[in-house]
Amino acid sequence: MGSSSQSPNLDDTTTIPTTVKAYLTPSYWDERFTKEEQYEWFKDYSRFRHLIQPHLTPHSSLLELGCGNSQMCEELHRDGAINITCIDLSTVAVERMQKRLLSQGLKG
Ligand SMILES: C[S@@+](CC[C@H](N)C(=O)[O-])C[C@H]1O[C@@H](n2cnc3c(N)ncnc32)[C@H](O)[C@@H]1O
């Protein structure tokens, strides 16, 4: 694979890159999030909610690093977190997340 500014080599039929290095390139994520609506890389929030929920207060300030297209921020919001910041290196992920949250009446 070439430098990180080049488009990673995506398999046409899946979103799995042909090399692990592709995960380091914003263009891989942009391309992936253009095609993919929603995906949870870890477990969905319900699987570890019991670990987080007891620590949430209306004053909690949460930072979700590399939010992608996960639904975790909506789940955290449903559990009472108000101040959640989602960031991602993919502009596609950020734009889509903003749009999704706005459509639910949340500030994107
Ligand atoms: C494996 S996915 C996880 C997405 C989501 N958190 C989940 O659990 O489903 C990794 C995410 O981190 C983002 N990412 C990778 N490197 C990053 C960086 N340096 N700063 C911000 N986001 C980054 C990618 O764009 C991608 O959305």
Structural domains present in the chain:
1-36 (no CATH), 45-103 (3.40.50.150)
Q: Which CA distances in Å does 70 have to 6, 9, 30, 76, 96?
A: 26, 23, 14, 11, 11
Q: Which atom of ligand 1 is nearest to the CA of 67?
A: 6
In tens, the pLDDT along 24-58 reads 999 999 999 999 999 999 889 999 999 999 999 98
Residue 99: is its pLDDT beyond 70?
yes
Pocket test for ligand 1, best of 25, 70, 88, 92 (most atoms within 8 A of CB): 88
> What integer pLDDT is reported at residue 108 of this predicted model?
64
pLDDT given for residue 42 in this prediction: 86
Q: Of all protein residues, whose CA lies closest to atom 15 belonging to ligand 1?
A: 66
pLDDT at 13: 47
What dihedral angle (degrees, nearest 10) is formed by the CA atoms of 60, 65, 70, 76?
-10
Q: Does residue 20's CB lie within 6 angstroms of at least one atom of ligand 1?
A: no
Taking alpha carbons only, the member of 99, 37, 89 closest to residue 66 is 89
